[in-house]
Amino acid sequence: MIASFLLRRVALSLITLGLLSVIVFMAGRLLPGDVGRAVLGPLADARSVANFNHQIGADRPIPIQYWDWISHFGNGDMGTSFVFRSAVGPFIGDALANSLKLAALAFIIVVPLGVLGGVAAALNVGRLADKTITLLGQTLGVVPEFISSIVLILIFGVWLRWLPMSADWPDGAGPLTQIRYLILPSLPLAISFFGYIARVARTGTVEALDADYTRTAVLKGLPRFTVLRRHVLRNALLPTITVAASLVGYLAGGLVVVESLFHYRGIGSLIYTAAKAKDFPMLEAGVLTVGALFALASLIADMLSALLNPRLQPGART
Amino acid sequence: MSTSIRADRLRAASRSVTLLSGLTILIFWTVCALFGGALVRMDPFADDLLRTLTPPSAAHWFGTDQLGRDVFSRVVVGARDILTVAPLATLLGAAAGTILGLVTGYFRGPFDAVASRIIEAIQAVPLVIVALLALAAVGTSNLTVILVIGFVFTPLIGRTVRTAVLTEADLDYIAAARLRGDGAFSIMFIEILPNVMPLVLVETTVRFGYAIFFVASLSFLGFGIQPPSPDWGLAIAENYSLIGSYWWVVMFDALATASLVLGVNLAADGLQSVLE
């Protein structure tokens, strides 16, 4: 049952990715009208524009161009950058590795804090602590990342001088130094997700506290802490893990802003620089990579919730 | 019993406090956007190269920027563009999204299935990135930012409206309208639309919060409002490199942006609980 569910889920993600690739391709090749003109600018002469279009194959029929692009993509060839005149693939690989470091740190910071906040709120439902945590999470979640970055840089970089203001660490820096340089950039990302994770953890905990198995455990005379740990938290945290996994895809939006602001060479700043330079092959590859990442993350999230949900276990009676 | 009544009153009060404080902030910035030029003592565009980057003082409450322009005047007038672009983008998305939601929810079938797949594909990438891709392709101006955000919002609002329409379409009054011989158009817009309107309103205010968020972020990235506008996100991008020594050229713009985003979200939240 899980297998057929997952198979259907994978097929759907592939359809979504295929459609995304068409949209991305159309945005990159059709919207600018004349790609050569868009890239070379209004001052370039007509001959070099035509030459450029011929070079990149923009003078061929659209379906052929798309097929050419996507079939190369499938073989791991992501195209050639207009700006660097070299293969896009290695740029994407390096950027992705850097972004994963930053994202991992943000998650290490925000998941425990969010869960802690959510559980604390759930244990105090309706009281001041609950309202404060909920309001704080909501507020922090809507502030754009560049604003929280600016405030954090002013406090920790400029006034207190505790942390470096850019993520550009010196060459040969060890892992600890790298983490030190990444703390400030990871905080705005963590801040924007705190409320989301806290809310899911709160809802899960409130439901688990209300459940029959919790009442049974309490009536059995188990100590409060044991009930919390063994019955409430274990059930409350499953949805939280699922949500955290699905957040990975959304993270990329924040990465664009944060990585550009902190001069960090990740997938977000790669997309941003490519958009600035109208380097469409790079931009398309970057956007498609983010889409694939998102699809993968939500697939993992669905798998986790399927695996953790007792009703979907093999042999379960439904 | 008396405690539950009191709890209800408290809840109602806190609701209106949320809505009122949100609206107050929003009205404050709207007034700045509409009449900002008349309210400030100094021309926000007038440079004074003899007084660049001076710290806050009695003459310049928020100091001056790299060109000696008065930061206070620029922050006040800076509300104008974001409060033009974001509402128009939201309205465009709300209008188109409502139509899309009505049509897909009412007709269902293959059109609905295709639309749902396309919406999922667009949602597979964060909105800021979709906007960057589109704006890199069509070029950046206030108009293209409005069109791109409106276009991206359309399927999102459409999906919410569609869900509501699906439930409405099963109700008896729709069956009655059909039996009466009403056409699809009049059923969608005269029968169903008024009933999903509260939802559309809530969805629109929530999206307005996102629109402010996106316009600010895009302007900061150089893909939104363009110079010489005193827009906040743009000002932060222009002055960001000076943050180490001249905090006032970025901090007030950052606080202004944060307060506007908060105001809109408080108002949306308040409205949502009042309507529910």
Chosen for mutation from B82, B133, B207, B208 (greatest number of chain A CBs closer than 10 Å) is B133
- How confident is the prediction along chain B (276 residues), in pLDDT tens digits per residue? 455 666 665 666 566 788 899 999 999 999 999 998 888 878 888 888 888 888 888 888 888 888 888 889 999 999 999 999 999 999 999 999 999 999 988 887 777 777 778 878 887 888 889 899 999 888 889 999 999 999 989 988 998 899 899 888 888 888 888 888 888 888 888 889 998 998 899 899 889 999 999 999 999 999 999 988 899 999 999 998 888 888 888 999 999 999 999 999 888 888 887 776
Please indicate if any CB of chain A lies within 8 Å of the CB of B223. Answer: yes
pLDDT at residue A178 tops 70: yes
Nearest alpha-carbon partner for B135 in B238, B48, B222: B222
- How high is the ipTM of this complex? 0.85
| Tokens found for residue B109 | 């079938």
pLDDT (tens digit per residue) in A256-288: 999 999 999 999 999 999 999 888 889 999 999
B136/A278 CB distance under 8 A: yes
What percentage of chain B's residues is helix, strand, coil (to nearest 5)?
80, 0, 20
Out of B121, B135, B220, the one facing A20 most closely (by C-beta) is: B121
Nearest alpha-carbon partner for A147 in A98, A180, A192: A192
Q: How far is CA A113 from the centre of its chain?
A: 18
Q: How far is B134 from chain A (nearest CA, A)?
A: 6
The answer to whether the beta carbons of residues B237 and B222 sit under 8 Å apart is yes
Q: Which residues of B touch A291 (CB under 8 A)?
A: 121, 124-125
A23/B121 CB distance under 8 A: yes
Residue ranges, CATH 1.10.3720.10, chain A: 91-312
Q: How far is CA A234 from the centre of its chain?
A: 26
Q: How far is B175 from chain A (nearest CA, A)?
A: 34
Residue type, B59: A
What 3-state class would DSSP assign to A181?
Answer: helix
pLDDT at residue A294 tops 90: no
Fold (topology level) of B82-218: MetI-like fold (1.10.3720)
The answer to whether the beta carbons of residues A260 and A268 sit under 8 Å apart is yes
Please indicate if any CB of chain A lies within 8 Å of the CB of B136. Answer: yes
pLDDT at residue A310 tops 70: no
Minimum Cα–Cα distance from A157: chain B residue: B244
Size of the A and B interface in Cβ pairs below 8 Å: 135
- Neighbouring-strand partners of residue A80: A87
How far is residue A78's CA from residue A69's CA, in Å, rounded to a whole number?
A: 8
HSE-CB at A26 with a 13 A cutoff on CA atoms is 7
Fold (topology level) of A91-312: MetI-like fold (1.10.3720)
Q: How far is B214 from chain A (nearest CA, A)?
A: 8
Q: Which residues of A touch B138 (CB under 8 A)?
A: 31-32
Out of A158, A274, A283, the one facing B247 most closely (by C-beta) is: A158
Domain spans in chain B, listed from the N-terminal domain onward: 1-78+230-276, 82-218
Q: Which residues of A touch B231 (CB under 8 A)?
A: none
